[in-house]
Chain A
Amino acid sequence: MTENKKNQESFEHGDSQNGVKSDVRLIVPPVDIQETAESYILRLDIPGADKKNISAQINDDTLSVSARVDSYFEKDTALFYDNSMPMEYRREFSLANDVDTTAVNALYDLGVLTLTLKKKQQCLPKEIEVM
């Protein structure tokens, strides 16, 4: 379970390098990655998102998480000088070989996205009985 550094870099600096003016604020959400005997647990801070605007995808051994937060305000809030841009949260991770990509659980609560990735059955520690 490591972070996909190469992609990380490309989306952190990509837009400015190409000289394209971006209309979203790209944010790399902070993450906690913890490993237990049966699974990996990822927690990402993505405050203020709508559940339907969050996506998590697994492609081969890469896990991509992205979310869009348009604004913290209701549409009818008449703000003076609101120059805030929509926020785009993005982060990619390279998965370890022992992750069972068919058993991934995602939960968004209190502004935190929690992904639980189960380890493959054959990779779990086994008790071997001594005859």
Chain B
Amino acid sequence: MSLIKRNPAKEIGFWNGDFPVSRGLQTLQQNMNQLFDQFFRGDILDDGTLFTRSWMPAVDIHESENAYIITAELPGLKKNEVKITLDNNIITIRGEKKDEQEKKTLHSHRLERSYGLFERSFTLPATVKTDNVDARFDDGILTVTLPKAEEAKQKLIDVKVK
């Protein structure tokens, strides 16, 4: 991922003879690239903490008549390696995927799968009944069902035409 932002300050620096413009821009570009790479890898969590080895599992959020449903892809994790916490109206899913490398590995040809810590948080609408949250974990898919409060459910009203 590459993104180069024009920085007038650096150009002024060049005119003052502080340092060559090419070098300044190069470092800036490197820094930006690093920042973007980290961001999209999920190294920076919502609260600003930086993890050296972390990943961001894919999450879908759906809405049904009676509930909001969060599904997260967490292949390779066991039930007890995932923690869900509910703080006021913020739901947080966190855990750690342990490295499963073979002890006797001679050579790793490919390592594309993600390991390490992860954390994802979502702000729930006020209309969720937080005391009745249900979570399931099957074949690497975490499904969290958040039932809606009565008043949030869709009501059908027949409007009579006079």
Contacts and interface: CB of A to CB of B under 8 A. Distances in A.
A120 interface: no
Contacts of B65: 78, 80
B112 A32 contact: yes
Contact of A80 (B64, B105, B112, B114): B64
A37 interface: yes
Bin the interface of chain B by size.
Answer: 20 to 34
Contacts of B107: 34-35
A47 B62 CA distance: 18
A72 B112 contact: no
Interface stretch (A7-15, A38-46, A56-64, A98-106): A38-46
A33 B100 CA distance: 12
Given A31-B113, A78-B65, A111-B141, A45 B106 contact: no
A17 interface: no
B64 A78 contact: yes
21 contacts: A31-B110, A32-B100, A32-B101, A32-B110, A33-B110, A35-B105, A35-B107, A41-B102, A43-B76, A45-B73, A45-B76, A45-B113, A47-B73, A47-B141, A48-B73, A50-B139, A77-B64, A78-B64, A80-B62, A80-B64, A112-B76
Given A72-B141, A78-B66, A80-B63, 4 more contacts: A31-B112, A32-B112, A43-B113, A48-B138
In the A-B complex, list the 5 residue pairs whose CB atoms are closest, starting with the nearest.
A111-B140, A47-B140, A111-B75, A30-B112, A33-B109
